[in-house]
Amino acid sequence: MALEFYIALILALTLAAVAGVLYFYAMLLEARSRQQRRRVAELERANAELLEELRDARARLGLEVESGRELWPEIIDEDSGYSMS
């Protein structure tokens, strides 16, 4: 009778330990998921900024083609401080 009690006690403690480990693992996965969602939102904002810069560059290039003048010296002046003229 005592042996069965100790076996049941050990089994119950083992199951409680496994449940505790699984609980903390689930909490770890939830925290990781929140972290990844924040990172995705950050990357989407950066993507939107880069898309806006690309549209601006395309618009400048379109203006350059339409006007027949070179816009690159102005862009180089703005970005690096070097002048082509």
Specify the pLDDT at position 32: 98
Specify the pLDDT at position 62: 82
Which 8-state DSSP code applies to residue 68?
T
pTM of this prediction?
0.57
| Cβ neighbours of residue 70 closer than 8 Å, sequence gap 6 or more | 64
Specify the pLDDT at position 71: 55
Per-residue pLDDT of the chain in tens (85 residues, 90 and over written 9): 899 999 999 999 999 999 999 999 999 999 999 999 999 999 999 999 999 999 998 988 887 777 766 556 666 666 555 544 4
Count, in order, helices (H) and strands (E) of the chain. Answer: 2, 0
Parse the chain into domains and list their residue ranges. Answer: 25-85
